[in-house]
Amino acid sequence: MARSRRQVLFDSGIICLFACITVPRWGTWLEDRINLRLTQKMPSWAHPLGTDHLGRDLLVRLARAIADAALPLWLTVLTGVSIGTLLALMLVAKAHTKFGKILRHGVNLVASIVGAIPLTLITFALAVVLEEADLKAVLLALGVSVILQSYLQLANHIEESRRLGYWTAHEALGGTLLGRIWRYGIRSAWTQELALSLGYKLRAAVIVEATLSYLGFGIQEPEASFGNILAAHFAASLHGKWWVMAATLSVLMVTAAAPQSLIRLASTRQKPAPTSQR
């Protein structure tokens, strides 16, 4: 109980910090334009985290990185999970037909191969092929990977559960397969695992984009991204100007952890559903 309470407090703190970080993106009291007078200044009351190498307010740059990079990545993950779930439901429902079996085996093979390749490597390879330093390659690779992973995860759950006693009883009473998947799976036995998997995908998306933009792929200047902010200040950090790097890494960790914290807080408020309903 004490550990659970500490986890709730930790997750609540992460959400509060994340909310505080995103506020400057929508405010007008901090500067985002280049101001050469601020280039050499450290944090002040007007610029809580200081300024970057071009004199732009760092807090606003980090808030813009969340709005311009993290939010599209999260929307892509949520869309990919939804499409992967629908794909799994469609193929499972058509599994009794010859065409459905062939199609399902083909999708399973592709999903297994793609799932064995790290997401960072897939995104990096696609960015090289497209030869574009923007978010498009990251979103495309992320979306395809999430669709296949979500499909494979749900399809495996269905195959493992369809021979359980209360599943067969529900089928004998005239229940539909989709009804069993929703009632005994998504809303019951699989809820926690699916939620944790979603949180992991949302966190990984932010980390992958930050890594690629740091290496020169993904979002680049003058647009804001955690990766290009870190890359622009790496040399300065080696000469003792560590503040920008430390602040950026801290905000990056909070942003990556925020979705998982929100999911954990939401799951603690839900009562566990019984798995042996008639």
Q: Are 11 and 47 in contact (CB under 8 A)?
A: no
Q: Which of 17-21, 68-72, 100-104, 105-109 has the lowest mean pLDDT?
A: 100-104
Tell me the fold of 2-268: MetI-like fold (1.10.3720)
**For 110-155, how does the pLDDT look when each residue is reduced to its tens digit (9 = 90+)?**
888 877 787 778 777 777 777 666 788 788 888 988 998 888 888 8
pLDDT for position 256:
92
Q: How far lies 230's CA from each of 62, 214, 236, in Å?
A: 11, 7, 10
The residue among 32 and 68 whose pLDDT is bigger is 68
Q: What is the mean pLDDT of the chain?
A: 77
Q: Which backbone phi and psi does 259 adopt, to 5 degrees?
A: -60, -40
Mean pLDDT of the region 177-205: 82
Model confidence at 213: pLDDT above 50: yes
Top pLDDT among 227 and 173 is at 227
Which residue, chain included where needed, has tokens 């629908």?
86
The residues spanned by each domain of the chain are 2-268
pLDDT above 50: residue 34: no
Structure tokens at 236: 């300065």
Identify the DSSP state of 119.
H
The stretch 44-73 carries a mean pLDDT of: 75
- What does the alpha-carbon distance between residue 126 and residue 138 come to, in Å, rounded to a whole number? 8
Q: Is the pLDDT of residue 76 over 90?
A: yes
How many angstroms separate the CA atoms of 99 and 267, rounded?
39
What's the distance, Cα to Cα, between the start and end of the chain in Å?
32
Q: Which regions of the chain does DSSP assign to beta strands (E)?
A: none
Q: Report yes or no: 180 and 171 within 8 Å, Cβ to Cβ.
A: yes
Structure tokens at 126: 């696609």
Confidence bin at 211 (pLDDT 50/70/90): confident
Q: Residue 46 has what pLDDT? A: 54
Among the ranges given (41-50, 76-85, 265-274), the one the predictor scored with the smallest mean pLDDT: 41-50
- Does residue 274 have a pLDDT over 50? no
When pLDDT is cut at 50, 70 and 90, the band that residue 180 belongs to is confident
DSSP for 61-104, written as a single string: HHHHHIIIIIHHHHHHHHHHHHHHHHHHHHHHHTTTSHHHHHHH
Mean pLDDT value of segment 76-105 = 85
Q: What is the model's pTM?
A: 0.80
Residue 162 CA neighbour count, 13 Å, CB half: 13
In the predicted structure, residue 199 carries a pLDDT above the cut 70: yes
C-beta of residue 65 within 8 angstroms of C-beta of residue 130: no
Q: Which amino acid is at 240?
A: G
Q: 272 falls in which pLDDT band (50, 70, 90)?
A: very low
Which residues lie below 8 Å from residue 264, measured CB to CB, with a gap of 6+? Answer: 7, 11, 199
Q: Given this model, what pLDDT does residue 25 score?
A: 52
The answer on pLDDT for 45 being more than 70 is: no
Two tokens, residue 182: 């929703």
